[in-house]
Structure 1
Amino acid sequence: MKLKRILSAVAAFALCASLAGCGASASSVAESTAESASTEAVSTVEEDASPETSAETTALRVAGLKGPTTMGLVNMLTADDAADLVDFNMYGAADEVVPLLVKGDIDAAAVPANLAATLYQKTNGAVEVACVNTLGVLYIVENGETVNSVADLKGQTLVTTGKGTTPEYVLRYVLSENGIDPDNDITIEYCSEATEALSKVQAGEATIAMLPQPFVTSALSQVEGLRVALDMNEEWQKVAGSKLVTGVLVVRKDAVEADADRFAAFMDAYQASVNAANTDLEGTAALCEEYGIVAKAALAQKALPQCNIVFETGDQMKTDLTTYYQVLFDADPTSVGGSMPADDFYYAG
């Protein structure tokens, strides 16, 4: 089993490097960074790229990015039958993964949920989403005791990242559904990265921030008095009636069709790996550090319970993704590739 760490000069990797000291990862600290880079990458891939057959390899060729979307995979990488099921490679940024998936150089990838929808549109339906692997990782933290509900955000100043990407759309949707005008009832200051947002809280320039895991866990240990005020998963579910989604596993349909039994075995092993990620925190955290998914095992172990690692398929997957995509589409159609995915986007098993 080989692990290929391919470094990139794009913004996602630069952010990862800047966060190495506090142990946070590029994908999780700025989900929006990966999404922005991946959207640009999709737009540069030729429409008529000829896919290579994936039947030549026995194991499913799977790509991962740093952060929560890949945490659920790590336990299957050390299983006795791992070499027969998965050929895993780690990449520094989504724009490296996109062309490989489009051309058929890899079979599947753990990616932000909106990127999966964009890839579906770009490949004319050649890919499908196999499972949701990560629910929401966004939390509102406060250095104080003012915020105990979304309503308490009215009149406040909140710092965050992700301007023009999914974190902004999620925040604006939750605020609006709670009767708060995001343009007039609250001041939202967007920072280029999570470290900048946190530095404003540390300096007393702001007391409230929306940040992702595992950065939240790291931040709580750095700022005395900082607490989690709101879980955006809970707030989303209250107003949307479904779960907030962050990451998915997207797979080429030809790879599934080439060997349906192989893919079914892979999915079984993936589910077992996710179960282990939620029960064996210490072992999973050690693997997250070993494979470069999170810089430090100690941080990963603390963050794992809040990273909402799941293995969600079938009707529940479709319901949660459809609701999520509709909110993104209403905010900016290009965030999901220009149109809502059709039914054949959802892997039926």
Structure 2
Amino acid sequence: MKKILSFVVVALVALAVVGAQPLYEKRLSDAPLTVKLAVMAGPTGFSSVALAANDGMITSTVKVDMTVYPSPNEVIARLANGELDMACLPTNVAANLYNKGVKAKIAAVIGNGMMSVLSTDPSVVDVSGLLGKSVNVPGAGSTPDQLSQLLMLKAGLEVGKDIQLDYSVAAPAQVAQLLIAGKISFAVLPQPFVSMVLGKNPKARIIADVQDLYAQYAKASNYPMSVLVVTDKFVSSYPLAVQSVLEAYEASVAWVNANAEQAGLAIEKTGIMASAMAIPAIPYCNLVYVPAQEAKAEVDAFFASLFAFSPASIGGKLPGADLYL
């Protein structure tokens, strides 16, 4: 009988702890809870800027502490060691985190594809003219590189034989400057660098929309280029705060899309990018907010495409359903 009573007491205590979690979170929120959010310098961070308004106070009890990082590598390390609660990242990076055992979930897709193939050679007006040519791609293993190689494979073309991919310049800003100066003729670039090149070199033109090519070959309307992730620990500890951040993020995306000039100034103030580059590009950046469960089929299709082309691009295996919040 004593053993039975002991078991009942332990079970009741456990249930009480679990049931009290939201109340515990609410009690802690008497002092604002700070959510540590990482964003990337560049268009991946554009949609987040409204969260930085009002010193990051998105509600009376939740504050967002947003930090801008130049590359995903620094963010990956900080997510892994618990320094960050949430982050905006390229979609394939989320798969790599999952396959490395970092406990984080995709909460939403925040950006769809926004890349183009540019030419400053008046004799080349479409992608068929690239046969035998060299195309600059910013960064081996980057999203532009992965999409370029994937689409070439789908088109039956061989890298190095039919088209050369030049990775000699890794930074997209530098590739853009070379196009503007006429020192290279072809490149695959994302926004806002596409808009920058078109605005500064009258010879530059878009000869292919990467999103259209992906839709043609992958049988999907677009590909999810960036996502918002949240650590499992933070979700389990502060579900109400997570919901507040997600609601604020969705509102931020809508505000940025509707207020390009103001958003561009906020983007510069936050340290994400100069407003002169951001403002004209915002309408073309495909900033969206799609909750993880609604975006799951599209993200899975993107992962499957990358995996078929290069398993290493997503960490060696397809993620499970537990990647999604």
Measured at CA, do residues 92 and 204 of structure 1 come closer, stay the same or move farther in structure 2, by a change above 3 Å? closer
Deviation sequence 1:196-216 (CA, Å, 0-9, x none): 544654565542221222222
Is the contact between residue 138 and residue 213 of structure 1 (CA under 8 Å) also seen in structure 2?
yes
> Secondary structure of the equivalent of 1:75?
helix
Partner of 1:322: 300
TM-score, reference length from structure 2: 0.81
Distance 2:64 2:117 in 1: 36
Distance 1:299 1:336 in 2: 30
Distance 1:89 1:259 in 2: 20
Once the two structures are overlaid, the 10-residue window that deviates more, 257-266 or 282-291, is 257-266
Measured at CA, do residues 127 and 299 of structure 1 come closer, stay the same or move farther in structure 2, by a change above 3 Å? same
Choose 1 or 2 for highest CA Rg: 2
Is the contact between residue 98 and residue 104 of structure 2 (CA under 8 Å) also seen in structure 1?
yes
Partner of 2:115: 138
Distance 1:231 1:285 in 2: 24
**Structure-to-structure mapping, 1:285-300, within 5 angstroms:** 285-294=264-273, 296-300=274-278
Identify the match of residue 75 of structure 1 among 50, 54, 57: 50
Distance 1:174 1:156 in 2: 16
The one-letter code matched in structure 2 to 1:301 is I
Cα shift at 1:232: 0.9
The one-letter code matched in structure 2 to 1:82 is I
The one-letter code matched in structure 2 to 1:74 is V
Identify the match of residue 235 of structure 2 among 252, 256, 260: 256
Partner of 1:217: 195
The one-letter code matched in structure 1 to 2:109 is V
Is the contact between residue 218 and residue 305 of structure 2 (CA under 8 Å) also seen in structure 1?
no
1:332 aligns with 2:310: yes
Cα shift at 1:62: 0.9
- How many residues were matched structurally? 291
Cα shift at 1:98: 2.0
The one-letter code matched in structure 1 to 2:41 is K
Distance 1:214 1:200 in 2: 15
Distance 2:159 2:218 in 1: 17
**Structure-to-structure mapping, 1:40-189, within 5 angstroms:** 58-78=33-53, 81-82=57-58, 84-123=62-101, 126-189=103-166
TM-score, reference length from structure 1: 0.75
Once the two structures are overlaid, the 10-residue window that deviates more, 108-117 or 187-196, is 187-196
Q: Alpha carbon RMSD of aligned pairs, Å?
A: 2.4
> Secondary structure of the equivalent of 2:67?
strand
> Secondary structure of the equivalent of 2:105?
strand
> Secondary structure of the equivalent of 2:319?
coil
Measured at CA, do residues 180 and 255 of structure 1 come closer, stay the same or move farther in structure 2, by a change above 3 Å? same
Q: Percent identity?
A: 28
